[in-house]
Structure 1
């Protein structure tokens, strides 16, 4: 039975049209000082982003884009808690998310990563019709 799920895990990424870049940190030395530096874990990796919910009545602060999402991505990628995830959707729009916890790796076919988008709204409104 596990073999069937492994085969599904090979097929799932072909159905995911979002592309992600995951950036974490690693320890680094700057002379005698200890520091951290950004390191790219994966780039241009297929994934699927799914919003948990987004209701206007749940928005507590106006002028922010704040919502939870789940990222579905292949197994075999170690994604540390606190990583930054840049998602480019099928329409070419890139959004930055912050991973809130360690990925759940309990599935044979994929892993799930809880993330949050929490940044100020930056969309430009032209002539009251949006930025088409």
Structure 2
């Protein structure tokens, strides 16, 4: 397992995106437990990859909605439903919403399934820079 942790250092070289994650956590206020928005991580390195498309779904131009995976360090606890903002190395900002908890079963990283947040990212979708 130590060999995998050593390889993580090389995998993280490919992480050229900056990721900010916000989500809700339970906070006890007296006898009442409330949900509160918190910033979980700011400007951490990550890599976004698109989930595979089936041959029948491929088109010349992709639709505005797509599924993606975020590769990040295992040490970050991303709650279900978190909002993820990714700034690419080109400066493009894209908003995602979480579909499920991250899968941290790899020794080198975790995978977080995401869905493009079309409302928040509408101005960022299209051809070229806006």
Normalization by structure 1: what TM-score? 0.78
Per-residue CA deviations over 1:17-45 (Å, capped at 9, x if unaligned) read: 00100111123478997532211111111
In the alignment, the residues of structure 2 paired with residue 124 and residue 118 of structure 1 have an alpha-carbon distance, to the nearest angstrom, of 10
- Structure in which a larger fraction of residues adopt strand: 1
Distance 1:50 1:15 in 2: 11
Give the unaligned 5+ runs of structure 1. 60-64
Pairing of 1:47-126 with structure 2 (within 5 A): 47-52=46-51, 53=53, 55-56=58-59, 59=63, 65-120=64-119, 121-122=122-123
> Structure 1 or 2: larger helix share?
2
Query: How many residues get paired?
Result: 123
Cα pair distance change 1:23/1:131, threshold 3 Å:
closer
SS in 2 for 1:86: strand
Q: Which runs of 4+ in 1 moved over 4 A?
A: 28-34, 129-132
Structure of greater Rg: 1
Contact kept, 8 Å, 2:93 with 2:124, in 1: the verdict is no
Structure 2 gap segments, 5+ residues each: none
1-structure distance, mates of 2:22, 2:124 = 24
Work out the CA distance in 2 between the residues paired with 1:88 and 1:95: 7
TM-score, structure 2 as length reference: 0.79
Written as runs of structure 1 = structure 2, the 5 A alignment for 1:22-61 is 22-28=21-27, 35-52=34-51, 53=53, 55-56=58-59, 59=63
